[in-house]
Structure 1
Amino acid sequence: MMRLHVLASGSGGNAAVVENARTGEGVLVDCGICKRDLIARCAEAGFDPARIAAVLITHDHGDHVRGLGVALRGLARLGCVPPVYASGAVCAAAPAIAEAAGSVGADLRALRAGDAVSAAGIEAHAFRTSHDAAESFGFRFEDAGAPAGAAAGAATPGAPASAAPDAGARDVIAFMTDTGVVTPEAHEALAGARLLAIESNHDAAMLEHGPYPWPVKRRIASDRGHLSNDQAAAELAALLAEGGADGLRAVVAMHVSQENNDYRRPAEGLAAALAAAGHPASVAVAYQSRLVSLA
């Protein structure tokens, strides 16, 4: 069984841990937050940051990588020097990634779409997203050692369980933020997840009438920007209609804008998609400054 700990999500900084509950090890996805918050929210989640077995970088934007160097040096003082996986294009656009890895002697390993990274008893399959970065990825995490049928537990206390997954299937967490559209490759990667983390960045009307300059609004709403609440709900509805979410237990809205959204609208949109399909999965929203854990 795997757990997802969203330590921070939003334009102010992003970081998440996918934990293998069997081993207590985990994989860190991005580090756009300070070392203090990384350590404190891992502790709040009951996860030992010294058990981070790998760091995966989705893309080169500062809100996903600006805290990496300080965090790695803090982890090194705990005796933890995990390898860092990032694409060549991302490293070229953000030299601080290589500098951060080098500062503690961590291996910097190339990441390409279609790669499967093995760490902490988890396989992380990288898929492309559509974002205005040098290159950007989402990840499909599969528990390499236990089938989904063994992954008991609800996303939140008292939350109803969805239909039981196939006994021989692996436990899956799908993780996708920072994309303007859901590509066919991404749609395929999201199918069959028990826990689904999907970007729900902005409310289209709030963005249109909000304070941002027109070029910024156009960028956010473009095919290389960020998913809106409606787009996230539509993708969930498509997965449900195709049977790609039969084993889903929980969905969490990610990268919610603090200027062009609120924490109610994404949850309502995703909940409406689930209700329309008669699906009992629970809904959560990831916060900028608060831990959200799903199991």
Structure 2
Amino acid sequence: MLALHVLASGSSGNAAVVENVVTGAGVLIDCGICKRDFLSRCDQAGFNPARIEAAFVTHEHGDHVKGLGVVLRGLAKLGCQPPIYVARGCVANSDALAKVAEAFEVHELAAAAGAVATAGADVGAIEAAARASAIEAAGVRVIPFATSHDAAASFGFRIEDAADGDAIGYLTDSGVVTPAAHAALADVRILALESNHDPKMLAAGPYPYVVKQRIASDAGHLSNGQAAAELAALVSASRAAGQREPQTVVAMHISQNNNEYSLAKRTLEAALAEANCAADVLCGYQARLTSAR
């Protein structure tokens, strides 16, 4: 059985831990927060950070990696030195990641991007390619998939319990849901799904026009409506295939300038109600812990 601890989610910093609740071990996804907040929220979650067995980086933007080096050095003092999985292009585009690569064990992270390019919407080919690039740590299987974001490379993750098949889907920082992402997010119990902005609030908000264009683009961030549409599609597809429907949905990377936590939550709840799905909706917050079990 798995638990998702969202330590922080938003444009000022992101970090999450997926815990194998049977063993107490876990994997880290991103770390764009300071060591103090990281350790404090791990403690609030009841998770021992010294049990982190691998770290995964979605992409190189500062809100996802700026705290990684400091946190890894802190973990090393606890006797914890997890391997880091990150795309080579992300390391080349980030001073923070370059320093991490100099000091720690770094491995190439590759998703099924090639399968997406060659197979289009052939879900079977995409799933096969994704599973071929799976990484095992902490008693879980981490399956990376390609996302669509203005980074050197960007990824989401499907995390499966190797013992009982429990699964978590994790997607943030993507302007669209790629075929690889849609395939990977099906049949999960916990779904962490970006619900970044409300289009009307974004259009009327304080950002420069070029930034608004970037956020709303196919290489930007999912809106509330896009997240709701994907959630409904996942429920429908899972139901048709006799697979699990999500029990808990966590709205992620909610903009503090172009969205509201309550609005993102209501939009996803409405999609679930329309689909006759009884999943709970939580929000990942910028400055406090959210745990889903």
Q: Fold conserved (TM > 0.5)?
A: yes
Letter in structure 2 aligned against 1:110: E
Compute the displacement of 1:241 (Å).
Answer: 1.8
Compute the displacement of 1:96 (Å).
Answer: 2.2
1:193 is paired with a residue whose SS is coil
| Structure 1 residue 185 corresponds to structure 2 residue 191 | no
The runs of at least 4 aligned residues of structure 1 exceeding 4 Å deviation read none
Residue pairs, 1:1-295, within 5 angstroms: 1-103=1-103, 106-113=104-111, 114=130, 115-146=133-164, 170-243=165-238, 246-295=244-293
Compute the displacement of 1:248 (Å).
Answer: 1.4
Give me the whole-angstrom Cα distance separating, in 1, the residues matched to 2:185 and 2:237.
Answer: 12
Give me the whole-angstrom Cα distance separating, in 2, the residues matched to 1:246 and 1:81.
Answer: 35
**Is contact 2:235–2:245 with CA below 8 Å preserved after alignment?**
no
Q: Which moved more, 1:2-11 or 1:89-98?
A: 89-98
Give me the whole-angstrom Cα distance separating, in 1, the residues matched to 2:246 and 2:271.
Answer: 13
Match of 2:116 in 1: none
Match of 2:119 in 1: none
**Is contact 1:253–1:285 with CA below 8 Å preserved after alignment?**
yes
1:37-59 Cα shifts (integer Å, max 9, x gaps): 11000000000000000000000
Letter in structure 2 aligned against 1:206: M
2:74 is paired with a residue whose SS is helix
Unaligned 5+ segments in structure 1 are 147-169
**Is contact 1:192–1:246 with CA below 8 Å preserved after alignment?**
yes
Give me the whole-angstrom Cα distance separating, in 1, the residues matched to 2:68 and 2:108.
Answer: 17
Unaligned 5+ segments in structure 2 are 112-129
Give me the whole-angstrom Cα distance separating, in 1, the residues matched to 2:237 and 2:85.
Answer: 32
Give me the whole-angstrom Cα distance separating, in 2, the residues matched to 1:206 and 1:117.
Answer: 39
Give me the whole-angstrom Cα distance separating, in 1, the residues matched to 2:96 and 2:279.
Answer: 39
Give me the whole-angstrom Cα distance separating, in 2, the residues matched to 1:247 and 1:208.
Answer: 34
**Is contact 1:72–1:101 with CA below 8 Å preserved after alignment?**
no
Compute the displacement of 1:97 (Å).
Answer: 1.6
Compute the displacement of 1:249 (Å).
Answer: 0.8
Compute the displacement of 1:247 (Å).
Answer: 3.2
Q: Which moved more, 1:192-201 or 1:86-95?
A: 86-95
**Is contact 2:142–2:158 with CA below 8 Å preserved after alignment?**
yes
Compute the displacement of 1:101 (Å).
Answer: 4.4
Q: TM-score, normalised by structure 1?
A: 0.90
**Is contact 1:203–1:260 with CA below 8 Å preserved after alignment?**
yes
Compute the displacement of 1:278 (Å).
Answer: 1.2
**Is contact 2:193–2:252 with CA below 8 Å preserved after alignment?**
yes
Letter in structure 2 aligned against 1:287: Y
**Is contact 2:172–2:253 with CA below 8 Å preserved after alignment?**
yes
**Is contact 2:7–2:38 with CA below 8 Å preserved after alignment?**
yes
1:8-40 Cα shifts (integer Å, max 9, x gaps): 000000000000011100000000000001100
Compute the displacement of 1:242 (Å).
Answer: 1.8
2:222 is paired with a residue whose SS is coil
2:162 is paired with a residue whose SS is strand
Compute the displacement of 1:95 (Å).
Answer: 3.6
Give me the whole-angstrom Cα distance separating, in 2, the residues matched to 1:99 and 1:269.
Answer: 40
**Is contact 1:55–1:82 with CA below 8 Å preserved after alignment?**
yes
Q: Using the aligned pairs only, state the percent identity.
A: 59
Q: What RMSD over aligned residues (CA atoms) do the two structures have, in Å?
A: 1.0
Q: Which moved more, 1:94-103 or 1:120-129?
A: 94-103
1:116-156 Cα shifts (integer Å, max 9, x gaps): 1110001100000000000000000000112xxxxxxxxxx
Compute the displacement of 1:288 (Å).
Answer: 0.1
Compute the displacement of 1:216 (Å).
Answer: 0.4
State the aligned residue count: 270
**Is contact 2:91–2:101 with CA below 8 Å preserved after alignment?**
no
Letter in structure 1 aligned against 2:143: H
